[in-house]
Amino acid sequence: MRFCTECGASLQQPPGKFCVECGNKLPNPTDEASVQSTTGDSARSAAQACELAYAAMEQERFDEAMDLVRPWAEQGDDASLRYAVTLSRLIEGIDAARAWAQVAQAAGSMNAVVLLALSLEEDGNDDESQHWYRIAADGGHAGAAAFLGFQAHEHGDLVEARKWFALCLASATAEDVPIVEKVRIALSEIGH
C-alpha cells in the first residue's frame, strides 16, 4: 500500500503521478525510501517525522509510522495530523480516526478533517461524511465547500449549492485555483 507524502491519503494502485486528494506530485514508485530507526534523534522535526512515517507506511509498519508522527500531531502539526487520521484508522479503526479528526479540528487542520470525511464516504457512511465535510468547509477548506456545493447542485438544491460555492470562493487560496475554476463554471451554469 502506498500513501501520499503530503496528505497521507492512500493512493490508487498503481499510483499515478499526482495524489487525487491533494494534487501533490508523487515520488517515482521505483524510488526506495529507507526507514530510519524511531529511536535516537529526539531533535527530529515534524517534516522529518512525516518523511520517516511515509517510508514506514510504505513497508506497512503502521505502528512505527504512528509513533513517529504522534508527538507532532499532539502539538497540532498539520501534516502530522493528516498522517494520524489515516494511520489511526488503519491501526485502530474509524473511532480512533474520529478522535484524531477532533484534535485536527481544534488545531485548525481542516485537511486532516477532510481525510476522515473521505474515509467515511468510502465506507458508505454518507451522513457522517457530510458532517465532517461541513466542519472542514466551515473551517475554511475550500475543497470541502466546493464538494458540498457540487453535491447540492447534483441534488437540485441550487440555493445550497450557491451557499457552498460562495464559501469556497471566499476560502480559496492560490493552491485552490483548479477547484475555483470548476466552481466558477458551475456558478455560471446555474446563475449567480
Helical spans, DSSP H, in the chain: 46-58, 62-74, 78-91, 94-107, 110-122, 126-138, 142-154, 158-171, 177-190
**The pLDDT of residue 20:** 60
**The pLDDT of residue 27:** 62
Rounded to an integer, what distance in angstroms lies between the CA atom of residue 175 and that of residue 136? 16
Residue pointed to by grid coordinates 476560502: 171
Rounded to an integer, what distance in angstroms lies between the CA atom of residue 107 and that of residue 159? 31
Q: What is the pLDDT of residues 35-87, one digit of tens each?
A: 333 334 444 789 999 999 999 999 999 999 999 999 999 999 999 999 999 99
**The pLDDT of residue 29:** 47
Q: Which three cell numbers stand for residue 185?
A: 463554471
**The pLDDT of residue 190:** 87
Domain ranges of the chain: 1-132, 140-192
How wide is the angle at C-alpha 89 spanned by C-alphas 87 and 91, nearest 5°?
65
Q: Whole-model pTM above 0.85?
A: no
The torsion angles phi and psi of 44, rounded to 5 degrees, stand at: -60, 140
Rounded to an integer, what distance in angstroms lies between the CA atom of residue 140 and that of residue 179? 14
How wide is the angle at C-alpha 4 spanned by C-alphas 151 and 86, nearest 5°?
70
Q: What is the pLDDT of residues 132-182, one digit of tens each?
A: 999 999 999 999 999 999 999 999 999 999 999 999 999 999 999 999 999
Cβ atoms of 112 and 88 within 8 Å: the answer is no
Q: What is the pLDDT of residues 103-140, one digit of tens each?
A: 999 999 999 999 999 999 999 999 999 999 999 999 99
**The pLDDT of residue 42:** 44
Rounded to an integer, what distance in angstroms lies between the CA atom of residue 110 and that of residue 114? 6
pLDDT exceeds cutoff 80 at 18: no
User: Of 19, 49, 12, which is closest to residue 143 (Cα–Cα)?
Assistant: 19
Q: Which three cell numbers stand for residue 90?
A: 488503519
